[in-house]
Structure 1
């Protein structure tokens, strides 16, 4: 009777060795990654020629596309673009050779393209809303939303040429900034 018990005991030992290990019911892995951010930038045309007109008249023209690109990936991705003007001057003559910024009017017009979420607001949607650039003015803004975004607009200028202006090519600088 010992032999069958021995055989039974040997078989049980083999089964005990061959039994699978007990596994944990779950396991956690911590995963991290980084969302890269970049800058808040503004791009403007390098130059524009508005044409020609006579003293005592008004000259109107568009500047070309202005684009704000917000790559900050911010939770609150708001920004304001502003615009100012220098005086416009010419190099010769006997009369006034300067057209002051209070005679330079600006309106942003509507957005021509936007991307991202949020509310994009033109500073001056129409020519009736034009503002003199004798001080810094809001050109465009984004008042809500998050993440990367962009907006483009094609602003216009209306320049009142004084009757006393001398002939010549006038130049000045329109400066757009964003913060």
Structure 2
């Protein structure tokens, strides 16, 4: 008898990058200004259910980088990372290693402003394991304010040894 495996509650954390270190003199000014380089992600994603030994994939929703620094050569890199996913109870059969997660960004779905945008992985054939942090998207040239959005896909290869349950973990997108 196979147990149903469910992956829910993917927490998509946001870690905005900092363009420059904050000095004591900058604290008051920065406290009143919104961040000039930000990334927004969906609050959470339910990837669905499947059986051990199979795979499932879903789009994570829109990821958007907004760069309001407005200066010359405003480049940035968005990175994606993952934790292992687990279900309560502990033990190896209750954990799915992040190395079993594959990610690809796809092309930009919307852009504003000038510059060259480069997806980390254009197609499913270029999907990369999230065993280590990966480049999700980058802006490699251009000046002025800009935005870039994409809809990445996450694929999970569920091990045959996984026990039934709800597995949760964190996918983090950050920009700097």
Q: 1:145 aligns with which of 142, 157, 171?
A: 142
Which runs of structure 2 are paired with 1:66-85 in the superposition (5 Å)? 66-85=63-82
| TM-score, normalised with respect to structure 2 | 0.79
Q: 2:58 aligns with which of 61, 83, 89?
A: 61
Number of the residue aligned with 2:95? 98
Q: 2:104 aligns with which of 87, 101, 107?
A: 107
Q: Over aligned residues, Cα RMSD in angstroms?
A: 1.7
Higher relative strand content: 2
Structure 2: distance between partners of 1:49 and 1:114 = 27
Q: Which runs of 4+ in 1 moved over 4 A?
A: none
**Structure 1: runs of 5+ lacking an equivalent:** 1-35
Structure 1: distance between partners of 2:166 and 2:151 = 23
Which runs of structure 2 are paired with 1:25-36 in the superposition (5 Å)? none
The structure having more radius of gyration, on CA atoms, is 1
Structure 1: distance between partners of 2:35 and 2:91 = 51
**Structure 2: runs of 5+ lacking an equivalent:** 1-32
Structure 1: distance between partners of 2:35 and 2:173 = 20
Structure 2: distance between partners of 1:74 and 1:40 = 12
Distance 1:167 1:144, change over 3 A: same
Contact 1:86 1:101 survives alignment (8 Å) = yes
| TM-score, normalised with respect to structure 1 | 0.77
